[in-house]
Amino acid sequence: MSVPAASPPTPTTSGRPLRVVIAPDSFKGSIPATDAAAALANGWSATRPDDTVVTIPIADGGEGTLDVFAAAVPGARRQRRDVTGPDGRTVPGAAWLALPDGSALVELAEASGLPLMREPDPLGAHTTGLGELIGAALDEGARRILVALGGSASTDGGTGVLRALGARFLDADGQPLPPGGGPLADLAAVDLRGLRPGPPDGLQALVDVDSPLLGPTGAAAVFGPQKGAGPEQIARLDAGLARLADLMPGSAAVGGRLATRPGTGAAGGTAYGLAAALDATLVPGARTIAEQAALPAALAQADLVITGEGRFDRTSTGGKVVGGVLDLAAAARVPVLLVAGQLDGPVPPMVSEALALVDLAGDRAAAIARPGHWLTRAGTRLAASRRLVT
């Protein structure tokens, strides 16, 4: 079913060929961004074959970021190594990207993502594998490392990453804490003396949300439920992150104030850990990746843009792909069409038309079983309506 915009603009129909940019995120757990873009393009072109359709799959630092960079950067090379997954099992052949300028791109979802879990473990899941990937990039001589943060299984404040690079997180008896966010409630000391230095040209963390580390809008409260955490577990995770911020060396100057900064709650607080211990710079993932993929230049010549993701909700405009595309489209004065697996929040007024795959398919299971088919149908439906902002 088509869901109208909150304050829909007056549509007009154009008989001339259009230039259409298709820039979706992955539909997580269902179809990657590249395949989602291709399916939407196939549906559109089958109905309006004279239009020029440009596909620019986008990511926000979550799953699929590696693929977007690999497609956008000539000479990028995939490297692989086995790492420790978020539940302690080995993840074979986790990939990172060696870029021709001497930089490396490491994606959290490859090593520490929620889909790698057999079952949720909100207190015990950790980011050790991401730290091992960063270590691999350092071993290869990367001068700068971009860390794509999103899709995390854990809320450990990045302590798994830092532990893999030589940091220690100790209890009151001076013993190392078990991995995960839950044990951080018993944190008594942080020892960074053995921490491996970052790359000479620094770390950039590509964040997919603007949440701070702590509190009701922080990493545990907002994203803990997505990782299986109940109310008591959320309270313990938030308390553990607060202990981490209090005890991080230099916390009076760094840790405490940093914990309130937007974006530090990304990936269960991994953005905070990287910034506090390795001086990582936090940058908006969706905008950075969109610029790398030349989306602003494409929108400057477009008649409309189609974007989408698996679930559109209140977090979608807070640093994620759809919100980033909406901002760029507004700047370019380009109308937006939205496709989501399901629509769980109000559609922004600038969206001319929105479709949910669950409505096209009849239910969620059918939509997930054949996402390419229903995205093609969505592309056909949107092309037939051809709604444009005057």
Q: What are the chain's domains?
A: 2-58+293-389 (3.40.50.10350), 65-286 (3.90.1510.10)
Q: Which pLDDT belongs to residue 342?
A: 93
Q: Which pLDDT belongs to residue 1?
A: 35
SS3 letters across 280-297: CEEEEHHHHHHHHCCHHH
Across 341-354, average pLDDT? 90
Lowest model confidence (mean pLDDT) among 21-25, 289-293, 296-300: 289-293
Q: What confidence category does residue 15 fall into, taking pLDDT thresholds of 50, 70 and 90?
A: low
Q: What confidence category does residue 252 fall into, taking pLDDT thresholds of 50, 70 and 90?
A: very low
Q: What is the dihedral of CA 110, 112, 113, 117, to 10 degrees?
A: 120
Q: What confidence category does residue 345 fall into, taking pLDDT thresholds of 50, 70 and 90?
A: confident
Determine contact, residues 212/220, Cβ cutoff 8 Å. no
β-pairing, 189-191 vs 168-170, is antiparallel
Q: Which pLDDT belongs to residue 37?
A: 95
Question: Rounded distance, CA 1 to CA 338, Å?
Answer: 12
Model confidence over 298-334: pLDDT tens digits? 999 999 999 999 999 887 877 788 988 999 999 999 9
Q: Which pLDDT belongs to residue 251?
A: 53
Is the pLDDT assigned to residue 10 strictly greater than 50?
Answer: no
Q: Which pLDDT belongs to residue 256?
A: 58
Angle between helices 321-332 and 285-292 (to 10 degrees): 60
Is the pLDDT assigned to residue 261 strictly greater than 70?
Answer: yes
Q: Which pLDDT belongs to residue 56?
A: 93
Report the percentage of the chain scoring pLDDT > 70. 93
Determine contact, residues 15/386, Cβ cutoff 8 Å. no
Question: Rounded distance, CA 272 to CA 286, Å?
Answer: 18
Burial of 373 (0-12, 13-18, 19+ CB in 10 A): middle
Determine contact, residues 332/296, Cβ cutoff 8 Å. yes
Is the pLDDT assigned to residue 5 strictly greater than 70?
Answer: no
Q: Which pLDDT belongs to residue 2?
A: 37
Q: Which pLDDT belongs to residue 279?
A: 94
Higher local confidence (pLDDT), 251 or 249:
249
Model confidence over 40-65: pLDDT tens digits? 999 999 999 999 999 999 887 778 88
Q: Which pLDDT belongs to residue 387?
A: 46
Is the pLDDT assigned to residue 72 strictly greater than 70?
Answer: yes
Model confidence over 119-162: pLDDT tens digits? 999 999 999 999 999 999 999 999 999 999 988 999 999 999 99
Taken in order 163, 268, 229, 117, the sign of the CA dihedral is negative
Q: Which pLDDT belongs to residue 175?
A: 97
> Over the chain, what is the mean pLDDT?
90
Its pTM stands at: 0.82
Q: Which pLDDT belongs to residue 250?
A: 65
Phi-psi region of 180 (alpha: psi -120 to 50; beta: other; left: phi over 0): left
Is the pLDDT assigned to residue 86 strictly greater than 80?
Answer: yes
Is the pLDDT assigned to residue 390 strictly greater than 70?
Answer: no
Report the percentage of the chain scoring pLDDT > 90. 76
Across 369-389, average pLDDT? 86
